[in-house]
Structure 1
Amino acid sequence: MAHDIAPLEAALDHRFRREAWLRQALTHRSYGVPHNERLEFLGDSILNATVARMLFDAFPDCSEGELSRLRASLVKKETLAELAQNLQLSGFLRLGDGEARSGGYQRPSILADTLEALFAAICLDSDYDTAARAVARLMAPLIAAIDPETHGKDSKTQLQEWLQARRLALPQYTILQQRGEAHDQFFVVECRIEPLGLVTQGEGASRRAAEQQAATRAIEALPGSARKAK
């Protein structure tokens, strides 16, 4: 492959014996065949089963409904896309020319699908347990940071609900900086809550990640002690 895959393999804690599986996982259908759609199907199941077990073990007092909501927050497109950005998957994607020109390297759906395909590629290159360990390696920090009282709601959602409960205007998010190549970008975003005179900033490898950080900082700065939306 054109890029050095060692850092990616290290992050996934798996060294591919058959690089063809890795190549297919990183290939979008716009590039050609074999592409990663079938792998995505398998990887989605591995991801969901592994996260379900991790949550089941981590939160013994949560109900089935609460566990389902927590899992949904972890396996949704936006969360997976952020994990993919952290792995710098954009630099390894194989896209067709049209998809590449239209910003495919940063498209959350493509990044999320590719990450799921990678889990399947690891399984096929090795076994299910190895793939599950790769999922757990990426998800463990996110699960450790979960407050079950918020039911897996992200910071933007918590902030919005806190403001809506008090009939205050919703925050405005503005990009202050955007730099870097298509496969390696950096964003600085401002979160402004006019009724409170509150302004925070966040940074990240995607606009959404920067917005989430800005929202988290806004929550921390909210007046009063009941800062989390109910």
Structure 2
Amino acid sequence: MEWSQILTFALVTSLLVMSPGPNGVLIAKTVPTSGRAAGFANVAGFVTAFYVHGTLSILGISVILVQSAQLFFAVKMVGAAYLCWVGIKALRDAWRGVKTMAETSPAKRKRTLAKAYGEGFLTNVLNPKVSIFYLAAFPQFVPMGAGSISAAYTLVCVHAVINAVWFTAMILVLARLTGAVRNGRFQRVLKAVTGSVFIAFGIKLATFRP
């Protein structure tokens, strides 16, 4: 596999990762309320979902997903429902008020890490837009013939690393705003904003057509 292909794929992927989307909103919601560790758990969920989509693309299952209108509609609606559900929960927390990081017990923080990983994973694995990326753009960079599977997983790794670097930088920036993130009013406003954005993404996904 030539370096020019890898660099071109990295450029395309970087633009996609840095564009506004549910991942950035989830990080912005998680870090102020649950800390850096939960934010990194989100990222681990993102990366796991990429490997799932990459594997499905390699096996050709993504083709079935996109060509089957009923199956695509079902996955799309499940993903949209999940995003809306996350948004509604955030709005509910904003209305009720949320605990600050200092008030969160160690046991609660451990459960939050598992939950944060699950949120990151589901936000990506249920998003048919990611499936379409791995179906439409991904194969164009994979060379045919011997070594194509290893080359494909190399590109998945590139996608995962770019995603991890970008969102790690976002997590570190958010974590440095310690005074703001521990302020109850700030957290309620953030919950309200992110909840509204998640619902908007859910509605957008529900009306999305490939």
TM score, norm. by length of structure 2: 0.28
State the structure with more CA Rg: 1
Per chain length, whose mean CA-contact separation is higher, i.e. which structure has more relative contact order (CA < 8 Å, sep 6+)?
A: 2
Structure 1 or 2: more helix by fraction: 2
